[in-house]
Amino acid sequence: MTFKNAFALCAALSVSPLIANAQETLTLYTSQPNTDAQQTVDAFEKANPDIDVEWVRDGTTKLMTKLRAELASGVVKPDVLLIADSVTMESLAADNYLFAYQSPAREAYADSLYHPEGYYYGTKIITTGIVRHKRAPETPKSWADLTKPEYKGQLVMPSPLYSGAALIHLATLTDAPELGWNYYEQLQANGAMAQGGNGGVLKAVTSGSKPYGMIVDFLAIREAAKGSPIEFTFPTEGVSMVTEPVAIMEGSKNKAAAQRFVDFLLSKDGQALVLEQGYLPAREDAGVPAGFPQRDAIKLLPFDAASTLKSTDENKSRFSDIFGG
């Protein structure tokens, strides 16, 4: 193949996805796991056959770097974002990258779950708790338990430097009066290891190399249901929460379709899907998945997205200093 032909082929390939669809195309950037993203997109497309969704899945940090680089060059590719945490959304809103949309579905949601001006809406409640391998000698019941000598060198947790959820968790726990930064220093002294993301924690605990871990609820509960030798605990002090918010980009060219996507996620059907996928839906009346306690039994620690945004860099560097990441 000559250079010219190859180039032409590539150019054609790159253009063809755009010509192929005569209908509307929505581009979604998400940090959900692949299978969940595929299911979400499939369900939306089924309910809205005239819209085609192309989705890009990556870890929150990588996704945001990609997005920021694009925005810095003046290019806006995604129409909607569905990413782990609201702090990231806050920073995008602060930079005026998000489009304010007052979705009618927001009536069914607690005020704390969405931005008052409609920049972003939480779709799930994902908490971070404690997971242990079934053969592990101890059964931790609280965050404080993890600083005990029995857990020395046996704990793994996601790093706030890589995981949006872990960052929120850090901010929440360090704000809690009975825990604070002292807690993390104790953990470090107790040999806790900060692994990359929640997926890494899952691997470490299921493979037994670290019998105890901090992890997001759905991962542990879902895998345990499939037969993984692990079990998840909601610690007594309370848990941190991320809401996996959805938002529309200010620069989107398909705002109408984007709004329908947001509405779908917030609708009863959309939340039913969330339930089926094993997450705790954000919508109050949507029930709880198998393996979860009732909503009122879950104690949420207080959290403020805006103030967390301000202290993000400081938190990260302080964590980095403690754990040498």
Partner 1 sequence: MLTASSDNQLRWLSITLFGLVVALSLLPCLRLLSEALSHWDRGLDAPLLSILQNPHTWVALQNSLYTSGLGTLISVVLGSGFAFVLTLTNIRYRALWIFCFMLPMMIPPQVTALSWLQLFGPASPILNTLGIAPALGSPQPMYSAEGIALLLGIQHAPLVFLALRSQLICLPKDLIEAAQLSGASQWRLWIDMIVPLSRNAIFAGAAIAFVSALGNFGIPAMLGIPAGYSVLPTLIYQQMAGFGNDVLSEVASLSMLIAFLVLIGMLLQQWIQQRSSYSLIGHNAQPASFRLGKWRIPTQILLCAVLCLILIAPLAALMISSVVPALGMPLTADTFTFAAYNEMVNNQGSTARAFTNSLLLASLAALLLMIITLPLGYRLMRLSLKARAVIASLIEVPYAIPGIVLAIAFILLFSRPIPIINVTLYGTLTLIFLAYLSCFLSVCLKPVMSALSQLDPALEEAAQIAGATPIQRLINIVLPLISPAVFAGGLLVFLIAVNELTVSALLWSAGNETLGVLIFNLDESGDSILASAISVLVVVLVASLMALLSLLAPRLPKGVIPWHC
Residues 293-312 that bind partner 1 (CB under 8 A): none
How many chain residues touch partner 1 (CB under 8 A)? 81
Strand partners, 269: none
Using CB under 8 A as the binding rule, whether residue 130 contacts partner 1 is answered as: no
Give one DSSP letter per residue of 293-325, joined into a string. PPGGGSPBPP--HHHHHHTHHHHHHHHHHHHT-
Q: Which of 43, 44, 48, 61 binds partner 1 (CB under 8 A)?
A: 61
Using CB under 8 A as the binding rule, whether residue 199 contacts partner 1 is answered as: yes
Q: How far is CA 87 from CA 83, 163, 198, in A?
A: 10, 12, 18
Residue 171: closest CA among 162, 163, 182, 160: 160
Provide the mask over 165-194, with x wherever binding to partner 1 is found by CB under 8 A and - wherever it is not: ----------------------------xx
Contact range with partner 1 by CB under 8 A, out of 129-137, 179-187, 253-261, 301-309: 129-137
Contact range with partner 1 by CB under 8 A, out of 10-18, 141-149, 232-240, 270-278: 10-18
Contact range with partner 1 by CB under 8 A, out of 8-16, 121-129, 177-185, 277-285: 8-16
Rounded CA-CA distance 141/127 in Å is: 15
Q: Is the dihedral of CA 324, 57, 31, 274 positive or negative?
A: negative
- Rounded to a whole number of angstroms, the minimum distance from the CB of residue 141 to partner 1 is 19
Using CB under 8 A as the binding rule, whether residue 313 contacts partner 1 is answered as: yes
Using CB under 8 A as the binding rule, whether residue 318 contacts partner 1 is answered as: no
Using CB under 8 A as the binding rule, whether residue 77 contacts partner 1 is answered as: yes
Q: 37 CB contacts (<8 Å, ≥6 apart)?
A: 28, 30, 55, 57
Using CB under 8 A as the binding rule, whether residue 129 contacts partner 1 is answered as: no
- Rounded to a whole number of angstroms, the minimum distance from the CB of residue 177 to partner 1 is 28
What part of residues 94-123 is at the interface with partner 1 (CB under 8 A)?
none
Count of CB atoms situated within 10 Å of the CB of 259: 19
Distance of CA 21 to the CA centre of its chain: 30
Choose between 285 and 314: whose C-beta lies nearer to partner 1. Answer: 314
Choose between 149 and 324: whose C-beta lies nearer to partner 1. Answer: 324
Buried b (16+ CB within 10 A) or exposed e, 13-40: eeeeeeeeeeebbbbbbbbbbeebbebb
Using CB under 8 A as the binding rule, whether residue 325 contacts partner 1 is answered as: yes
Residue 180: closest CA among 299, 84, 305, 322: 322
Using CB under 8 A as the binding rule, whether residue 74 contacts partner 1 is answered as: yes
Q: Which of 153, 177, 285, 297 binds partner 1 (CB under 8 A)?
A: 153
Choose between 66 and 255: whose C-beta lies nearer to partner 1. Answer: 66
What part of residues 203-262 is at the interface with partner 1 (CB under 8 A)?
203-211, 219, 223-224, 226-230
CB 162 within 8 A of CB 59: yes
Choose between 74 and 177: whose C-beta lies nearer to partner 1. Answer: 74
Residue 45: closest CA among 21, 76, 64, 77: 21
What are the contacts of 107-111 at 24+ separation with CB within 8 A? 108/266, 108/283, 108/284, 108/285, 109/266, 109/282, 109/283, 109/284, 110/282, 110/284
Contact range with partner 1 by CB under 8 A, out of 133-141, 169-177, 235-243, 280-288: 133-141
